[in-house]
Structure formats: structure tokens, C-alpha cells
Amino acid sequence: MPPQILRFMANNLVIVESPAKAKTIEKYLGKDFHVVSSFGHIRDLDKKNMGIKVENDFEPVYIISDDKKKVVANLKSEVKKADTVWLASDDDREGEAIAWHLFEVLGLRNKDTKRIVFNEITKKAILDAIANPREIDQNLVNAQQARRILDRIVGFEISPVLWTKVKGGLSAGRVQSVAVRLVCEREEEIKNFVSKDSYNVKGIFNTEHSKTPIAANLNKNFNVKEEAVGFLNHLINATFTVANTNKKPSKRAPQPPFTTSTLQQEAFRKLGMSVERTMLVAQQLYEAGLITYMRTDSVNLSDYAVFAAKEFIEKEYGSKYSKIRHYKTKTKGAQEAHEAIRPTDLSRKTLPDNILNNKLYELIWKRTVASQMADAEIEITTIDIAVSQREEMFVAKGEVIIFDGYLKLYSESVEKDEQNVEDEENLSLPAVKKNEEMYLVNAVSKQTFTAQPTRYNEAMLVHKLEELGIGRPSTYAPIISTIQKRNYVIKGQNTGKTRQVSIIKLEKGTIKETSVKENYASEKNKLLPTDIGEVVNKFLCRFFINIMDYNFTANAEKELDTIAEGKLKWQKMLETFYTPFHNEVVETSKTAKREKAERLLGKDPKTGKNVFAKIGRFGAMIQIGEVGEEEKPVFASLQSNQSISTITLEEALSLFALPRNLGKYENEDIIVSTGRFGAYVKFGNKLNVSLPKNKDPYAINLDESIELIKAKQKSEAQKQEIMKHLPKTLGRIDDKDVVLNHGRFGAYVTWNGKNYKVARKDDFLSLTFEEAKAIIKSSKSKK
């Protein structure tokens, strides 16, 4: 719609979900348009009686929460001033539901209300949306309602069962519980994994006319060391010839532009960003008008984006680097009709502002442009080297990039799993002829081990959920976040284990055997099930197998898609689900025994009492003795890296070593203990110092604890010196004092009954009145 048309529309109110989005949109509309924010959903299901009238065809009972009442009042006030209301929430089911709730709560009328959607916040997209309004799509609203009600039913009915049968305060979720199951099953695979060893052989060869070394791997591994030694012995007097050479061209195509899932995975691998952080930053980029909508499973690009990429590539790299591509979505159950995630302006290669936003933006920009570039052309050379009087062959492989194509700009990362065999690769191989004689420089046989299954990291779990058809672009990040917040899954790291590895080397006709120490199974930022997570998972899998079934969850997503298409009534879906599920809940509540979740580790050598690892009221713990005995049992909490399923008796008993008296300093006892907030050092009655995460309370010594005490004493002395100068009045604004002070969370300025944080840590006492005014002004404008 041309801008001049907008001038004839008086008193237009546009409602979006977020203030940042409102600010960007208002720039593109004329003075007759006022843009306000609903700050997300304005109402949700009542928490009383589940918020659903099951007997009345699953009628939802919505209420406006206390924190949204003022927002609703302000919106109603704005609506009264407007001739036309434009509902501009996001173009997905959640956004459609927000628009519908606004329509209902604000008492809007169809004739005065228009629903507009857009895939990017640019002037052209906004004006096009204004020119092409539509009505609220009730099918999308119903799909969102069905999901919300289904999730509420599962959570509200199963959680009380967990309270009585496992532990108080627990909760279950329709999709989150399935995600926890994936993590638990992978952990079970690792526990049951038995590694098998074998011996590979690698040789270094050259030819009469070329001394360029050629690395080659034997095409067979030996099961026992004796076989490997026997083969190396044979090589001493063997002859080697080229059995076959093969050169073949190959092409490598770029990956499609980002979907929500692939962006989360690549940002995790390349930038180390969590799934939740990636979506937060992507939303900031979208609301600033820099990228298209970030919740999508489409890999399609608009014609504008395709030709803008073509223009840039030809100008920057030349026409041979350009190749127009149209991608099709192959994801199981893909539903969204958006574009892939791309920059709104491909001429903007980078951003000047926040470095994290910039890194994610550059990743999106490179992936988008690379998706429209030519294939990389590669030449792969293979040389088979025969060994006299043996069937085995050495195989040398070389790879040369003939034309880099899209690799000039971007290369995809891959998940690095521990490899069973370390393949030797050559960048290029010298020219050889069939039957040409080869000369062995040396050969090495190394003991290798099959690798255990890899634990999921956030990116891998998102990929697995998408592969199974579980969840949607809008739910991946909340799923990963929720299972960690509920303490069913934690991010952990493993420094790995060590083992001795045999290496047998043949060189100059002599075989030498050595043994080296090798680290393996080290992992970082991997998802581990907690003890309570494993207990809850076992309970749910035993009694609620339908809810925990991967196919059930994926099929529920398909049914929600069918509702969104208007081909299934949402009440019908819930009715089919509810009756058997509710009966299952009732039956489990009556018949299931309380989950003990405990292991008998053995007996305490001092007292002869049984030692248990179990789940208690406050989590995983060790118990010495039993309830009902004359002496009450004693308890100790497990450390964060310990589990009731793997902890040994010796490790369990060591947990009762606290408190430990390390000795004296300045005639005061130094005691290491643990409390509500973790381990700490107690210095007489004078001082408590929290232990840093890298300090083990069971291993810290007297000297280390004294260093911690001295550091805390110095810090306290500095704080007391600072407090002598505080509070400090810097000046007055509107006849009200501006006062500098310091508290638990650092320095702050107080004015007009409100506190404003001061970012400085060390020299905040030098803060001037002008600087304080700027802090107050900046904070007010942000709000």
C-alpha cells in the first residue's frame, strides 16, 4: 500500500506482543497509527480445577492474571480512542491465539478489527500487511487451544500421582517427559555398553620416483594382538604393488538456509550458544527488523532473497560462484508456511552493535548467501596397495578441492563423536601406475576401542526431537529449558577416563612394542539425567507408557496440524485422548506402590548398619541406618557429579567426613562444612567463606583454606572502607536527592524512591552527578 493511502486512515491502533516490535513497526507507519504492546498473552487457563470444564466439551476457563490487569486496562483505554484496531501478533498458532484473546477480552468487533501478519519487520512487509488484512483464523486458534488444554490435562493429572508415589513437588509434561526419556535411555545405553578392542594397521609408503609419503590404512582390523604382530612380521619381507588407482570427481552442495532447529544446532556448535540463548538473540534480531521470523521449519526463500543473493555473489565472487536453488522442506510434520530464517537485507553483512547479536546475525547471513552458491568440486583419489601373499590391502585416500564454490564463504559444522578408527587422510596423492612397486617406510598397529554412545548436547537433542516429529519450532527451546529447570536433566562435563593402549611399530625391519596412556570418553556440556529424573522416567514409562511413547507424541503433533487445517474438531481429539488417559491415572493412583528409588550399598564398617543411596525429600542422599532402629539414621547429600545408581560404598561413606577440622589459623579452628548454599570454610565464629566450584570440600587443605580466608578478609576490609563514604548525596533532581549507595548486588543510585544500578565495580565512588543523571535517564527510557 502506498504511504499516501495511510494518511486517510484516522485513529488506527496496532497491537503487537512486544515493546521492541512495537517500536520498530511504528517507524514505518504514519502519524495516524499508534502501536502498542500486549506484552505477550494477556490471559491463560485458570489454575483452579485445571481451568478446563471437561464435562462441558473441554470448555477452557480463561482468566486475566494480576500482572496483566493493568496492561488490559491500558489497551481498553487505547481501543476507545481508535476507529480501527489492527491485531499484528506473530504469524503462527501462538500469535493467532494472542490475537483472538485480545479480540475477546477487549470486546472488539469484526467490522472495526483487522488481523495482519508479516514474515519480517520491514517497511515493505508492514505496508503490504496493512494492504492485505484478514480475519482471525479460528482453526489456528483451535490448534493452539488444543495443545494448551492437552498439556494442562497431562500436567495436572499426572503430577499429583508423582507427589504421592515418588516425591512431593514433582511435575510431568506431555512433551518434556518424552525428552527426558530420550536422555535417560541414552544414559542406560552408556551404562550397558561394553567396549571391544581391535588392532588397526597404518602404513607409510613411497615410490621409486617420488619420496612424497603416502599414508594408507589396512582394510581390516585384527581382533587380537598376536594377529597384528604376525601381520607386521609378514610385512618385513613382503613386497607391495599398486593394485588399483581411481580418480573420481565429486561435488559437495551447500546446506539449505536455516530453520529454527538447524539454527539452534549450528549456533550451539559454532558459537557455543544454548538453545534458549539462540532464540532470545534471534527474537531481538527479528524485532529489530534485521531477520525474518525465527520460528519456522521452512527452508524456502522468497524470490527477493534468491535474486538479492545472486546479485551479491556475482558482484563479490563472480558469476561462476552463483547457482539459484529452491529448497523444499523435508522435516517430518513440517507445518509453518514461513520462509527460512534469513536477513531482511542481504547487503547488510554485519552489525555494528552487540557482539553476540552480531555473531548470530553473521552466521544467518553466511548460511543464506552460501545456500545460493555453486557446489564445491572435489577430486577424490584412491590407491589400493597389495601385500604379497596376503588378501588384505592398504588403502590410501586423497582429496583435493578443484573449485571451492560455496566453501569460499561458509562450511557446515558437524557433531564430533569419538571415532573408533582414526583415518589417515592425504590432501593430495602423487601419481602412481597400476602394478608399480611401492616401498614401506614404516607400519604401526594401534589398539583401538569401540566408542560408547555419545550423550546428547542441546543441539543433538533438538535434532533428535525434530527427527521423531516431536515438538515444533516454537517448542524446542522451552522443552530443553524446562527439563533443566525442573532438575530432571543437567548440563555436565566429564574429564574422561584413562586406559593403556598397545602400539606396535615396524621400522627398518625391527618390531617394537610400547604402551601409552590414552584419555577417552571426555565430554563437555552434555545432558545428563539426574537421579530424580531417572526415577520419574522409570515410573512414567511403567504406568503411563502411552504418554511416554514417541509415536503418541508425534501423532499428537499431526492431529494438531489437522486441527489447524480445519479438518478435525479440537474437542474430538481431546475426547479420544482423555477417557483412557484419565482411567490410567485413576488406576495408577489406586494400585501403584510408592517408588522407593534406593540402593543398598553395603554396611558401614564402624557401626555395622546398612548404607543406602536413595531419593529423599531434598534430593539424592546417603542414609546410614534404618527408620525404626533405636538410633536414628544419619544422612548426607550427594555431590552434583554423583548418582545413586553408580556411587560406591567407599564414596558414600566419605560424604560423612564433613565437617572437617583442617587445623588452626590465628588461634581459631578452620572447619570445612556444607550447608544450604553449598560447601564453605568456617573461620571460628568470625567468618564463613563459600568454597569456589573448583575446590573439593573433601580434598581442600589448610593452606588453601587460609588463602580463601585472607581474600575474604581483604574484601571485607575494602567494603568497610567504602561504606565509610556512603551514602553519598550527589545532587538534586526535581528537588529530590540523588544518593549513591552500595548493597548486596553492588553500587546503585537512589532517586525518587527508586534504585538505579551502577555498572562500575571498582571506582564507583568517583561517579559524578552528571553521570548519575544519565543512568537515571537511560533506565527510564528503557522502561
Phi and psi at residue 497, in whole multiples of 5°? -125, 170
Closest by CA position to 704, among listed 684, 696, 669? 696
Helices (H), 7-48: 19-26
Q: Where are the alpha helices (DSSP H) in 317-391?
A: 355-370
Whether omega before 659 lies within 30 degrees of 0, making that bond cis, reads yes
Helix (H, G, I), strand (E, B) or coil at 249: strand
Q: Is residue 727 reached through a cis peptide bond, with omega within 30 degrees of 0 on the bond before it?
A: yes
3-state secondary structure of 310: helix
Per the listing, cell 561504606 goes with 723
Look at the block and give the residue holding cell 619420496.
211
- Find how far residue 652's CA is from the centre of its chain: 32
Query: Residue 117 is placed in which grid cell?
Result: 501478519
Q: Where are the beta strands (DSSP E) in 197-267?
A: 197-207, 214-218, 240-252
The distance in angstroms from the start CA to the end CA of the chain is 33
In the block, residue with C-alpha cell 498473552: 41
φ, ψ of residue 170 to 5 degrees: the values are -85, 165
CA dihedral 744, 746, 752, 753 (to 10 degrees): -10
- Single out the residue of 290, 306, 317 nearest to residue 257, CA to CA: 306
The DSSP symbol for 600 reads E
Instruction: Give the whole-angstrom CA distance, residue 532 versus residue 616.
Output: 10
Angle at 643 between CA 637 and CA 645, to 5 degrees: 125
Is residue 286 flagged as an active site residue?
no
If one counts every other C-beta atom within 10 angstroms of the C-beta of residue 74, the result is 13
Under 8 Å between Cβ of 391 and 351: no
| DSSP string covering 37-53 | E--S-S-EE-SGGGGEE
Written in H, E and C, the secondary structure of 455-470 is: CCCHHHHHHHHHHHCC
Name the active-site residue from 293, 406, 456, 680.
293
**What letter does residue 67 receive in the DSSP assignment?**
H
d(CA 239, CA 230): 16
List, edge to edge, every strand of the sheet that includes 610-616: 598-603, 610-616, 619-624, 634-637
CB atoms within 10 A of CB 47: 12
* Distance (Å, whole) CA 532 – CA 540: 12
772 touches 760 (CB < 8 A): no
> Measured on CA atoms in the order 29, 33, 38, 39, is the torsion positive or negative?
positive
Calpha distance 346→571 (Å, rounded): 45
Residues with catalytic annotation?
Answer: 293
